[in-house]
Structure 1
Amino acid sequence: MATRYWLVSLPVQSSASSLWSRLQESISKHSFDTPLYRFNVPNLRVGTLDSLLALSDDLFKSNSFIEGVSHKIRRQIEELERVSGIETTALTVDGVPVDSYLTRFAWDEAKYPTMSPLREIVDSIHVQVAKIEDDLKVRVAEYNNVRSQLNTINRKQSGSLAVRDLSNLVKQEDIVTSEHLVTLLAVVPKYSQKDWLTSYETLTTFVVPRSSKMLYEDNEYALYTVTLFARVADNFKSSAREKGFQIREFEYNPETQESRKRELEKLMQDQETLRSSLLQWCYTSYGEVFSSWMHFCAVRIFAESILRYGLPPSFLSVVLSPSVRSEKKVRSILEGLCDTANSTYWKTDDEVGGMGGLGGDADAYPYVCFTINLI
């Protein structure tokens, strides 16, 4: 699939079919590797010259917005597919691949009546795409909120022993709790484990001999238990800190652990549901935005062609996808098919660059041309 197309209109001097045949012949002869298609623009309502000029001022900016939303949804799809580990799906519009929809474009009269003013059609497209963008923001924010909560929990469960949640590392049998005794959890640097095992019984009085047991270790620390009389726990903590051992505050509570487990399972389920729902919504919405974008491009090429070539409307609009090395050759062909006087008038120095078209594009060519980037 090509990812970059030119949408071009050429002024018709005699008949559109004759110009189309000459263009096909020239492309086939001089740039045969350039795909070429007709882009069928209906007879839209022209309105007044003033209304066309006013519309022209807005079309470039609106096109950038609609194109931006299209790319934003596509990127969201790519991210969701990557996270889900599913194979990349070819994007479609009403079941048709996006590049085929562009190269075989047909105006949807039911959705956009051709007798409607151009401003009304453009505003309708803009409003629809803006609503889809707003929906995207809300759905992505909801999905990202659940992802953020899960990431926070995962960091707590997979981080260093100095900061991570210990509830899934400690079992009920590891903890001694009675009227007088208490079990503390010590985070010991791995290089200090020998020091811990030889000194913990003497860090304060009333420490239960041989009560320390290692529960877990990571790359930096080891987690040990120690049992002692509750009334000397504060003294033990102070002495442990002085020797570089961290005593983690921890209270074993089966109900809390079960609640956290249920919360984690629910968040994982919510994330998967939201991800699947968002992905399906993006597939559908991308098709809607792309269809709206192509209708917008049809209005844009129509309006610009009227402003460039005058009335009555007499132009041939086509879609091409030249390779980088063929661009100059194709531009030469297109220019050769334009009126000679007109060509001289519009031709500029090579330094001008850019695409002839609306808004901020430079009018560097004697024909109307702007780029459609699918990605």
Structure 2
Amino acid sequence: MAAATRYWVASLPVQTSASSLWSRLQDEISKKSFDTPVYRFNIPDLRVGTLDSLLSLSDDLLKSNTFIEGVSHKIRRQVEELERVSGIEGSPLTVDGVPVDSYLTRFVWDEAKYPTMSPLREITDSIHVQVAKIEDDLKVRVAEYNNVRSQLNAINRKQSGSLAVRDLSNIVKPEDIIMSEHLVTLLAVVLKYSQKEWLSRYETLTNYVVPRSSKKLYEDNEYALYTVTLFHKVADNFKISAREKGFQIRDFEYSPEAQESRKRELERLMQDQESMRSSLLQWCYFSYGEVFSSWMHFCAVRVFTESILRYGLPPSFLAAVLAPSVKSEKKVRSILEGLCGNGESTYWKSEDEVGMVGLAGEAETYPYVSFTINFI
């Protein structure tokens, strides 16, 4: 079965034992929605603190979750874009080599990173700070990469745009230009439909034009580029007459040194772009795993916090991760509600009584804790 991109995290109140409730949930899913994977979401015994601290924390959890989820999506989209540009076949994103869907469905709390005796606020704040730092780093790295891309794009536009404005150094060769004490070669940009007119008139636009000296070097969708050789002393008069007849004379000075410098600069930028693209992609692979791991720990705190606020103390709930298909969602909702007593559970309180419905901001409310995790 292909990995899902959308999961539900839900918790149910335990009335007898968590193991018996887990068995009932598995049995109901297998009977009524057999195509829905279901996994235990193992949350450790976290530090509860005071009711006031839980209520205060709950006010910020949705906002922080939206931020963390948004950063994970930014990095994922950046990975997809870099892989597309590089022509790399996308590989599954991981947390320390574990595919992210497996990391969620086999979640294990990282005690070393987030000690369970730490206050919940301290845990969520540290997660928020860490993810914010990664987002800032992403912005800097992407800006540097995009700056190099912009420079390359500017060069490419100059070398591939209209003949009226583009750089001509990669079109004009040394043998096309005559520069002597008396003679000079000019470059004329001529509308495609005016080429016959140019060829019939250029020799008479001024005196001292070398006969039959005009040669076509290049043609694009709109214009053709021609050379014309004449005496230095009439160059300005020729330019004026040419403009009056609708022919554009491009200023151009052939410089082997300048052309070689532009070539080296282009090569350097291309190497920089490739190096930065590879570096950014590797950074994104690693950082996505960091953000995703932090996000799942954050989700564990959310389940724990809302379950206590909804079901009371001491903490006694079963958390699960489910991946229902769209067509199975109603069945699964019905199963979860049934395991809460069809909405008549003594644990169920109205929004007015609790002051909150669900930390996920679900459009509908349920007699159990529920929120959605979207990978994409």
TM-score by length of 1: 0.96
For each residue in 1:34-68, what CA deviation from the matched residue of structure 2 results, as whole angstroms up to 9, or x when unmatched? 11000000000000000000000000000000000
The answer as to whether partners of 2:7 and 2:322 remain within 8 angstroms in 1 is: yes
| Offset of residue 367 of structure 1 | 0.3
User: Which of 341, 345, 364 is residue 344 of structure 2 equivalent to?
Assistant: 341
The answer as to whether partners of 1:203 and 1:236 remain within 8 angstroms in 2 is: yes
Matched residue of 2:136: which SS? helix
Mean CA deviation greater in 89-98 or 339-348: 339-348
Q: Structure 1 residues 48 and 343 mapped into 2: Cα distance closer, same or farther (>3 Å)? A: closer
Match of 2:237 in 1: 235
Task: Name the count of aligned residue pairs.
Answer: 369
User: Which of 296, 302, 305 is residue 303 of structure 1 equivalent to?
Assistant: 305
Match of 2:367 in 1: 366
User: Which of 4, 12, 15 is residue 13 of structure 1 equivalent to?
Assistant: 15
Match of 2:94 in 1: 92
Match of 1:352 in 2: none
Amino acid at match of 2:367: P
User: Which of 245, 248, 252 is residue 247 of structure 2 equivalent to?
Assistant: 245
| Offset of residue 344 of structure 1 | 9.6
Match of 1:50 in 2: 52
Amino acid at match of 1:103: T
Match of 2:358 in 1: 357
Give the distance between the partners of 1:129 and 1:347, measured in 2 at CA. Answer: 34
For each residue in 1:130-155, what CA deviation from the matched residue of structure 2 results, as whole angstroms up to 9, or x when unmatched? 00000000000000000000001001
Match of 1:101 in 2: 103
Give the distance between the partners of 1:326 and 1:373, measured in 2 at CA. Answer: 17
For each residue in 1:221-259, what CA deviation from the matched residue of structure 2 results, as whole angstroms up to 9, or x when unmatched? 111111111121111111111211111110111110000
Q: Structure 1 residues 363 and 221 mapped into 2: Cα distance closer, same or farther (>3 Å)? A: closer
Amino acid at match of 2:124: V
Aligned pairs for 1:225-304 (under 5 A) are 225-304=227-306
User: Which of 133, 138, 147 is residue 131 of structure 1 equivalent to?
Assistant: 133
The percent identity for this pair of structures is 83
Q: Structure 1 residues 27 and 359 mapped into 2: Cα distance closer, same or farther (>3 Å)? A: closer
Amino acid at match of 2:365: A
Cα RMSD for the two superposed structures: 1.5
Aligned pairs for 1:185-200 (under 5 A) are 185-200=187-202
The answer as to whether partners of 1:346 and 1:364 remain within 8 angstroms in 2 is: no
Amino acid at match of 1:367: Y
Match of 2:318 in 1: 316
Q: Does 1:176 align with 2:178?
A: yes
Q: Provide runs of 4+ in structure 1 moved above 3 Å.
A: 343-348, 359-363
| Offset of residue 361 of structure 1 | 3.9
Gaps of 5+ in 1: 349-354
Gaps of 5+ in 2: none
Matched residue of 2:188: which SS? strand
The answer as to whether partners of 1:6 and 1:371 remain within 8 angstroms in 2 is: yes
Matched residue of 1:328: which SS? helix
Match of 1:351 in 2: none
Amino acid at match of 1:251: E
Matched residue of 1:50: which SS? helix
